[in-house]
């Protein structure tokens, strides 16, 4: 009996890994490749799929992100005031999801924020359907059958494409009126390049941007907040740094963020213990040898980021402990292997959203630390789970308490 269960468990795990690999492959490999091919067909070669890198830096990210965070905190304030206390229980995993959605919408659509929000709303519905399907047994070909769920999904897809087309048309008109001084958001940048990039490509780019950015960044924020709530001594140190660098009231600016080293160590340790993307995939383009193994051309290799980050041989005896101090002399010194820490992948295909994700995380946490102290709610259950991304299965209820003026002054 016992053996049977083992076998079943193994089969279930293998199947899950396989499905996960397929899904991740679709997102991280197949999709960008299609765009690359598209470029190649038009005679554009060279830097492989690197459309956003560099471009993102042109955007005025800090004020854009700060606006989303401020709006979130305003909503918390309303609840606090109406309940008449200075402590409030917040389900951060939910709030951070809408925060991240908002940030991505602003960076992607900027001047067309409302339209963008509507489109991403449709896409979020589609993702819920996909996540539901993801939990079920994978049947090849099933997605082509006109089931109720599939029909709903197709409808959403059509609706998304139509809204995009309308939005791009409206933008083109507006641009013409402003004589080429169009908005500097991602959509604007993509449209400037639209002699190379068709409308469908733009749509696909926006979709993967939203998909790849939302769960990853919101989970990073959730895990880091949970870790700081679990380890008050680190929370205190992080707050001292924030208050020293930015004071207690002002919104941190770009230069402040660079100086927050303690916070950067904490975020890295959170990314090490709970890397939201637990694995990535590479396919061998030619026969190759890797660490003594022959890898035939075409072989796909799963790179287990999560396992690497929990390898005692690389991280030492305290591998499972939360110890941001291991990053005190930078990433290279933290691990016994130069690439033992790869939360954003490695090489020409590393994450293009890394800067945005880190910026949003730093800014959010520094603002929270400035204003509140926080601890786990008694109802918190620690259950890291993988459903495409590493997330907290029962959410993350956290109790936030407004810092008194005295506490804030002590820090500065």
Ligand X SMILES: *[C@@H]1O[C@H](CO)[C@@H](O)[C@H](O)[C@H]1NC(C)=O
Contacting residue, 110, 188, 213, 324, with ligand HEM by CB under 6 A = 213
- The count of other CB atoms within 10 Å of the CB of residue 194 is 14
Question: Are 231 and 333 spatial neighbours (Cβ–Cβ below 8 Å)?
Answer: no
The binder of ligand X chosen from 120, 210, 274, 327 (CB under 6 A)? 327
Listed as own residue / partner, the contacts of 187-190 with beta carbons closer than 8 Å and 24 or more positions apart are 187/108, 187/109, 187/110, 187/112, 187/116, 188/110, 188/111, 189/55, 189/58, 190/51
Residue from 119, 187, 212, 306 binding ligand HEM (CB under 6 A): 212
327: partner contacted, choices ligand X, ligand HEM, none (Cβ within 5-8 A by kind): ligand X
The interface mask with ligand HEM, positions 276-305, x = CB under 6 A, is xx--x-------------------------
Among the listed residues 217, 222, 225, 373, the single contact to ligand HEM using CB under 6 A: 217
Residue 410's beta-bridge partner residues? none
| Interaction between residue 225 and ligand X (CB under 6 A) | no
Residue 262: both structure tokens together: 């303690």
Q: Could you tell which of ligand HEM, ligand X, none binds residue 199, using a CB distance below 5 to 8 A set by kind? A: none
Binding of ligand X by 277 (CB under 6 A): no
Tokens representing residue 183 in the block: 């908005």
**What residues are labeled active site?**
216, 344, 351
Bridge partner residues of 281 (DSSP): 302
Q: Residue 2 — φ and ψ, nearest 5°?
A: -50, -45
Residue 330 interface partner, choices ligand HEM, ligand X, none, CB cut-off 5-8 Å depending on type: ligand X
DSSP state for residue 325 in the 8-state scheme:
G
Query: Which residues on neighbouring strands pair with residue 43, listed in sequence order?
Result: none
228 binds, among ligand X, ligand HEM, none (CB under 5 to 8 A by kind): none
User: Do residues 391 and 385 touch, judged by C-beta distance below 8 A?
Assistant: yes
* Residue indicated by tokens 């080293």: 261
Helix, coil or strand: residue 302 = strand
**Contacts with ligand HEM in 39-78 (CB under 6 A)?**
49
How many residues form the binding site for ligand X (CB under 6 A)? Answer: 7
Q: Which is nearer to ligand X, 127 or 359 (CB)?
A: 359
Per-residue binder mask for ligand HEM (CB under 6 A), 93-112, x = binder: -----------x--------
Residue 324 and residue 265 in contact, taking contact as beta carbons nearer than 8 Å: yes
- Give, as ranges, the residues between 237 and 266 that touch ligand X (CB under 6 A): 261, 264-265
Closest contact distance (angstroms) between CB of 178 and ligand HEM is 26
State the CB neighbour count (10 A cutoff) for residue 301.
Answer: 14
Piece in contact with ligand HEM (CB under 6 A), picked from 115-123, 342-350, 375-383, 404-412: 342-350
Among 81, 198, 330, 339, binds ligand X (CB under 6 A): 330
Which position has the token pair 């998909």?
A: 211
Judged by CB under 6 A, the stretch of 24-32, 128-136, 168-176, 324-332 that binds ligand X is 324-332
Q: Residue 307's closest CA among 363, 390, 368, 238?
A: 390
- Do the beta carbons of residue 297 and residue 286 sit within 8 Å? yes
Question: What separation in angstroms does the CA of 25 have from each of 50, 321, 346?
Answer: 18, 31, 16
Number of residues that bind ligand HEM (CB under 6 A): 26
* Interface positions with ligand HEM (CB under 6 A): 28, 32, 49, 104, 208-209, 212-213, 216-217, 220, 276-277, 280, 343-347, 349-353, 356-357
């Amino acid at each position: 009996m016992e053996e049977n269960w083992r076998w079943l468990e193994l089969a279930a795990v293998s199947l899950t890994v396989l499905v996960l690999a397929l899904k991740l492959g679709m997102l991280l490999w197949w999709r960008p490749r299609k765009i690359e091919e598209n470029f190649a067909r038009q005679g554009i070669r060279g830097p492989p799929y690197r459309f956003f890198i560099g471009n993102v830096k042109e955007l005025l990210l800090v004020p854009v992100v700060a606006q989303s965070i401020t709006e979130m905190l305003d909503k918390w304030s309303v609840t606090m005031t109406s309940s008449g206390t200075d402590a409030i229980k917040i389900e951060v995993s939910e709030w951070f999801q809408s925060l991240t959605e908002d940030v991505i919408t602003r960076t992607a659509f900027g001047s067309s924020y409302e339209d963008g929000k509507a489109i991403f709303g449709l896409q979020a519905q589609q993702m819920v359907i996909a996540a539901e399907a993801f939990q079920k047994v994978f049947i090849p070909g099933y997605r082509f059958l006109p089931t109720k769920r599939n029909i709903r999904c197709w409808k959403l897809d059509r609706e998304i494409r139509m809204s995009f087309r309308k939005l791009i048309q409206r933008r083109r008109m507006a641009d013409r009126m402003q004589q080429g001084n169009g908005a500097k958001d991602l959509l604007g940048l993509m449209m400037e390049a639209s002699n190379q990039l068709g409308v469908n490509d733009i749509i696909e780019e926006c979709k993967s941007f939203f998909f790849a950015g939302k769960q990853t960044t919101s989970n990073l924020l959730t895990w880091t907040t949970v870790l700081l709530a679990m380890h008050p001594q680190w929370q205190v140190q992080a707050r001292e740094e924030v208050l020293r660098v930015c004071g207690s009231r002002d919104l941190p600016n770009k230069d402040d963020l660079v100086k927050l080293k303690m916070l950067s160590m904490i975020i890295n340790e959170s990314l090490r213990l709970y890397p939201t993307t637990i694995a990535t995939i590479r396919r061998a383009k030619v026969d190759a040898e890797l660490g003594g193994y022959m890898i035939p051309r075409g072989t796909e290799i799963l790179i287990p980021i999560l396992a690497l980050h929990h390898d005692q041989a690389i991280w030492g005896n305290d591998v499972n402990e939360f110890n941001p101090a291991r990053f005190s002399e930078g990433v290279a010194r933290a691990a016994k292997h130069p690439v033992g820490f790869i939360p954003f992948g490695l090489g020409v295909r590393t994450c293009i959203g890394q800067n945005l994700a880190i910026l949003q995380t730093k800014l959010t946490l520094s603002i929270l630390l400035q204003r509140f102290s926080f601890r786990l709610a008694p109802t918190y259950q620690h259950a890291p789970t993988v459903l495409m991304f590493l997330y907290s299965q029962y959410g993350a209820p956290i109790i936030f308490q407004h810092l008194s003026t005295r506490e804030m002054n002590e820090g500065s």
